[in-house]
């Protein structure tokens, strides 16, 4: 097993999230939320108990900067196909959404079209399940600098986590499994760090790097990723370069049925693959 270390930036973010969950949560009285609402005032909010809704728009719409939302006492459940569970609007800087994920589960944002969508960036998101949604568990859309920790994105219709035209996102100890097409979808993403994450059982590909419109997925770093039990493991499409993949492979399960890793660029282009443990990979520069 590879040695696992916590990058300094993620350690700082984790410390901040622990402060919210532990110290501040004990000292502050959060505003209780009993149903779908818009959070237009900075503050500390907590879902009182599980919210079940058939709303078409976002159930929890965060429009103010400086919002902390706790899901520890309950999650959100939609009608199975419509709307977004939680949406962070452009301008809602400094948002924190946190739960308390355990091996047995935890609070879930489920049965929407999209579980959680961030259109702002600079948010800290984690500690809950974004699972069982019609399309996507977590969507980062132009959400530069997001930190995602200890999130589970499973059994979503298309993809677990979609990082779309976003720079500098960091995802740590996060899993994407049993989603319809992709686990992690880097779609015009740059500077993304996938650190000690897991992807398994996804319908087509565990980790997909592709272009989002005219924007390439470039300069992303995949480190210590457990990718297994899917048709394809890690795939980089043509015209996506400058990516680095290391210490990754199917070390927690079965190899991919097609390829553990596949770089569609001739001679891997400017992508660098090294110190991985793939059972099957193409071309020869992938190792």
What is 99-121 written as a DSSP string? ---BTTB--BEESSSEEEEESS-
pLDDT score recorded for residue 17: 47
pLDDT score recorded for residue 27: 56
The predicted model scores a pTM of 0.91
For residue 158, the 8-state DSSP code is S
pLDDT score recorded for residue 25: 44
pLDDT above 60 for 224: yes
- Domain residues of the chain, as ranges? 1-80+89-130, 158-287
pLDDT score recorded for residue 103: 63
pLDDT score recorded for residue 11: 45
What is 162-201 written as a DSSP string? EEES-BS-EEES-EEES-SSEEEEEES-BS-EEES-EEES
Would you say 165 and 188 are in contact if contact means Cβ atoms under 8 Å apart?
yes
pLDDT score recorded for residue 102: 72
pLDDT above 60 for 155: yes
Mean pLDDT, to the nearest integer, of 212-220? 94
Mean pLDDT, to the nearest integer, of 181-202? 98
Per-chain mean pLDDT for the chain: 91
Mean pLDDT, to the nearest integer, of 243-262? 97
Taking the C-alpha atoms of residue 64 and residue 91, their distance in angstroms, rounded to an integer, is: 7
pLDDT score recorded for residue 101: 76
Three state DSSP letters for 46-71: EECCCEECCCCCCCEEECCCCEEEEC
What SS3 class is residue 269? coil
Least reliable range by pLDDT among 20-29, 132-141, 245-254: 20-29
Mean pLDDT, to the nearest integer, of 92-116? 91
- pLDDT bin (cut points 50, 70, 90) of residue 22 is very low
pLDDT in tens, 135-148: 999 999 999 999 99
- pLDDT bin (cut points 50, 70, 90) of residue 4 is very low
pLDDT score recorded for residue 20: 46
Token duo for residue 244 = 């680095």
């Amino acid at each position: 097993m590879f040695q696992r270390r916590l990058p300094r930036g993620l350690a700082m973010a984790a410390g901040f999230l622990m402060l919210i969950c532990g110290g501040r949560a004990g000292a502050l009285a959060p505003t209780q939320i009993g149903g779908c609402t818009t959070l237009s005032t900075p503050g500390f909010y907590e879902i009182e108990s599980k919210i079940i809704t058939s709303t078409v728009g976002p159930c929890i719409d965060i429009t103010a900067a400086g919002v902390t939302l706790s899901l520890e006492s309950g999650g959100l459940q939609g009608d199975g196909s419509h709307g977004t569970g939680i949406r962070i609007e452009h301008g809602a800087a400094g948002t924190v959404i946190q739960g308390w994920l355990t091996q047995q589960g935890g609070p879930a944002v489920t049965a929407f079209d999209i579980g959680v969508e961030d259109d702002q960036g600079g948010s800290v998101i984690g500690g809950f399940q974004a699972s069982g949604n019609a399309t996507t568990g977590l969507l980062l859309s132009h959400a530069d600098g997001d930190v995602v920790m200890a999130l589970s994105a499973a059994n979503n219709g298309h993809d677990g986590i979609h990082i779309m035209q976003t720079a500098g996102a960091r995802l740590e100890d996060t899993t994407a499994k049993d989603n319809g097409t992709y686990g992690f979808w880097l779609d015009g993403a740059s500077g993304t760090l996938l650190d000690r994450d897991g992807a398994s059982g996804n319908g087509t590909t565990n980790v997909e790097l592709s272009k989002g419109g005219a924007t390439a997925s470039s300069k992303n770093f995949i480190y210590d990723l457990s990718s297994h039990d899917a048709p394809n493991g890690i795939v980089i499409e043509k015209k996506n370069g400058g990516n680095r993949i290391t210490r990754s492979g199917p070390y927690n399960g079965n190899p991919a049925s097609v390829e553990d890793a596949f770089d569609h660029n001739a001679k891997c282009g400017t992508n660098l693959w090294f110190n991985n443990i793939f059972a099957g990979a193409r071309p020869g520069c992938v190792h």
